[in-house]
Amino acid sequence: MPARDFFHSVMRIGPVQIGTRRDRHGHTRHAAVCTTDGCGWSSDYSSSSAAQLAARTHRCTPR
Ligand SMILES: [Zn+2]
């Protein structure tokens, strides 16, 4: 898995890892990243609760 600069993992929900990072404007963003091979889903959210909700409802794309 490629390392992200300034990515700090804070929790894990199923295969989805949630972490915080700084964007280029210095704002904290909450990123949800699926760690399943072949899925590759990731998304940024402005709040941790939104990222957790997305992680709980995420379904991997079947292959
Ligand atoms: Zn997935």
Return the amino acid letter for 38: G
Q: How far does the centroid of ligand 1 lie from the alpha carbon of residue 44, in Å?
A: 15
- pLDDT tens digits for range 5-23: 567 788 999 999 999 988 8
C-beta of residue 43 within 8 angstroms of C-beta of residue 54: yes
Mean pLDDT of the chain: 87
Helices (H) and strands (E) in the chain, counts: 1, 4
Task: Please tell me which of 4-8, 14-18, 26-30, 58-62 the model is most confident about, judged by mean pLDDT.
Answer: 14-18
The residue ranges of every structural domain in the chain are: 8-57
Q: Is 57 left (phi over 0), alpha (psi -120 to 50) or beta?
A: alpha
| 27 or 4, which is more confident | 27
Alpha helix locations (H) across the chain? 48-57
Name the pLDDT band for 62 (thresholds 50, 70, 90): low
Residues with CB under 5 A from ligand 1 (ion): 34, 36, 39, 41, 60
| pLDDT given at position 1 | 47
